[in-house]
């Protein structure tokens, strides 16, 4: 193969730049604050077998599960034509939850579909029983429109009826149309840039470097695993309820390390539950792969090769691999965060000098919607918190962590787009667990509603604190407070209901756990 160390480094960045430019296009063209401001989207390119070649530095839970969506998109059709774009969001066909709409485009070279470009964006509303499409649901049908793999564009011709059907099921159809158009623009950029690479370097040279890059990532990941002492490591943590009632929902992991291979087994975790915290198998795999990737150096490319040395086993009919049509609305936000906590908790037994304490362990999902002056509004955001302290320093404060890589929504953008006023936004002093290296601080974010709305909060770590390690203290738990008619009410971790103009909600997010015993 015409590959050497220098050319491999060059092509690594060339492939990543394709996905990065897709992401820049999607951000700039998007209509909704969630995509444009928070960057709640991901882009990647794949080979003809749905193996990830490269990703942009976007959302870990998207990128780890997106290969399953690409596989299902390819399997759904016997043939493709140039210009085709497949759209889907079905969690049971590789998706994560219904608001995450995935687009997949074949890229033809010499008359064959040799590559695929894919984007996944979280749309603020895709229907369902409450605004924002993250309801306290008991089945998938309540969470919004379910889109199986369909051709939104076929042979260059748009399926206007399908587009109209998707947008009509949103409370903000024009915003959905704008965000879908942004994804389509991103798909076109990915196709153009990858074809430019092939034109400049030739198909064989490009594919040789893809094969070499995947092999390089595999070998680098194997080297990471070889640095973990052989053994069996277990850990258990829990969710605090499923939105229907509060109860302990255990998640258990057993990690087996042997040489350059690792098995991550979630046997012993809870059976599937009635409410919305179930998560599909693709998300469980994404969380496990992400944790292993954390141990690698930054210059190891994230692609299909990284996944190969890690076997993930997820029991059927469980919280982490439920039967259709189990509710899964916040499985890839809340449950995925807890999956990271349990995998890192197990790895801390093997590598105590490398693994940090638990971060906030939640995404603090906040959705709202209503009508003002005859015009519908809808919004979704996640809220940052504290990172866990670790052997190399204090945890970061007020930052998103682990399976989310989004930004916080700027107050100006929020107040411009919605009938809201942000009265308070700052760090939550004292919320990080103390230790030799303390956990980062959570945040306080207080909203005042300027119009009636329906709101939903899906959050965790309101009863079970983010754990400390090596003698460090746990981080402080989060609190959600609704203020109506001057009276404050603790609404718990998961709540939905009606608010009126003048009502307020204060979301206080957890701090990270501390690491090591505090020095005298």
**pLDDT tens readout for residues 345-359:** 999 999 999 999 999
Are 119 and 183 a contacting pair, CB within 8 Å? Answer: yes
**pLDDT tens readout for residues 455-498:** 999 999 999 999 999 999 999 999 999 999 999 999 999 999 99
**Residues 51, 225: Cα–Cα separation, whole Å:** 21
Q: Say yes or no to pLDDT of 68 above 60.
A: yes
**pLDDT tens readout for residues 246-302:** 999 999 999 999 999 999 999 999 999 999 999 999 999 999 999 998 998 767 888
**Kind and range of the H or E element at 52?**
strand 52-55
Q: Say yes or no to pLDDT of 404 above 90.
A: no
Question: What's the pLDDT score for residue 237?
Answer: 98
**pLDDT tens readout for residues 131-177:** 999 999 999 999 999 999 999 999 999 999 999 999 999 999 999 99
**Residues 72, 45: Cα–Cα separation, whole Å:** 15
115 DSSP β-pair partners: 47, 107
Three-state SS for 66-110 is HHHHHHHHHHCCCCCCCCCEEEECCHHHCCCCCCEEEEEEEEEEC
Q: Say yes or no to pLDDT of 1 above 60.
A: no
Question: What's the pLDDT score for residue 414?
Answer: 92
| Residue whose structure tokens are 């989310």 | 404
Q: Is the dihedral of CA 159, 161, 162, 168 positive or negative?
A: positive
Question: What's the pLDDT score for residue 56?
Answer: 83
Three-state SS for 447-458 is EEECCCEEEEEE
Average pLDDT over all residues of the chain: 95
Tokens of 154: 């076929």
| Residue whose structure tokens are 């979630």 | 266
CA 163 to chain centre: 25
Q: Is the dihedral of CA 328, 150, 286, 461 positive or negative?
A: negative
**pLDDT tens readout for residues 11-20:** 999 999 999 9
Tokens of 73: 């998109």
User: What would the DSSP string read from start to end of 329-350?
Assistant: TTIIIIIHHHHHHHHHHHHHHH
């Amino acid at each position: 193969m015409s590959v050497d160390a220098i050319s491999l480094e060059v092509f690594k960045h060339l492939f990543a730049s394709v996905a990065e430019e897709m992401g820049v296009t999607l951000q700039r063209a998007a209509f909704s604050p969630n995509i444009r401001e928070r960057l709640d989207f991901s882009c990647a390119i794949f080979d003809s077998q749905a193996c990830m070649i490269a990703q942009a530095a976007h959302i870990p839970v998207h990128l780890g599960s997106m290969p399953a969506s690409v596989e299902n998109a390819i399997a759904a059709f016997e043939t493709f034509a140039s210009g085709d774009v497949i759209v889907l969001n079905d969690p049971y066909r590789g998706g994560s939850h219904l608001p995450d709409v995935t687009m997949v485009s074949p890229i033809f070279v010499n008359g064959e579909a040799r590559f695929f470009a894919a984007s996944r964006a979280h749309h603020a509303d895709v229907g369902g029983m409450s605004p924002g499409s993250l309801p306290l649901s008991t089945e998938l049908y309540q969470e919004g429109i379910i889109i199986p793999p369909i051709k939104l564009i076929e042979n260059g011709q748009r399926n206007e009826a399908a587009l109209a059907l998707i947008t009509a099921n949103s409370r903000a159809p024009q915003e959905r149309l704008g965000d879908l158009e942004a994804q389509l623009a991103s798909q076109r950029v990915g196709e153009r840039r990858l074809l430019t690479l092939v034109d400049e370097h030739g198909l064989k040279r490009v594919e040789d470097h893809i094969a070499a890059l995947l092999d390089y990532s595999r070998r680098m990941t194997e080297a990471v695993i070889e640095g973990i002492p052989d053994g069996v490591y277990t850990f258990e943590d829990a969710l605090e309820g499923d939105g229907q009632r509060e109860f302990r929902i255990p998640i258990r992991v057993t990690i087996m390390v042997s040489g350059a291979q690792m098995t991550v087994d979630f046997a012993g975790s809870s059976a599937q539950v009635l409410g919305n915290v179930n998560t599909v198998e693709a998300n469980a795999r994404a969380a496990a792969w992400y944790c292993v990737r954390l141990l690698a150096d930054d210059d190891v490319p994230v692609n299909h090769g990284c996944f190969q040395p890690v076997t993930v086993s997820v029991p059927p009919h469980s919280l982490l691999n439920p039967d259709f049509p189990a509710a899964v609305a916040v499985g890839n936000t809340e449950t995925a965060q807890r999956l990271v906590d349990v995998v890192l908790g197990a790895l801390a037994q093997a590598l105590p000098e490398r693994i940090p304490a638990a971060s906030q362990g939640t995404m603090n999902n906040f959705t709202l919607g209503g009508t003002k002056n005859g015009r519908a509004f809808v919004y979704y955001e996640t809220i940052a918190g504290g990172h866990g302290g670790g052997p190399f320093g204090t945890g970061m404060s007020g930052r998103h962590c682990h399976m989310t890589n989004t930004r916080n929504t700027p107050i100006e953008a929020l107040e411009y787009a919605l009938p809201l006023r942000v009265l308070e936004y700052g760090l939550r002093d004292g919320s990080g667990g103390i230790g030799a290296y303390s956990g980062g601080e959570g945040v306080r974010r207080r909203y005042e509603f300027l119009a009636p709305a329906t709101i939903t909060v899906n959050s965790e770590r309101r009863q079970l604190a983010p754990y400390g390690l090596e003698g460090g203290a746990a981080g402080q738990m989060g609190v959600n407070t609704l203020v109506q008619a001057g009276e404050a009410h603790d609404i718990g971790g998961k709540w939905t209901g009606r608010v009126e103009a003048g009502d307020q909600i204060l979301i206080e997010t957890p701090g990270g756990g501390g690491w090591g015993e505090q020095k005298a």
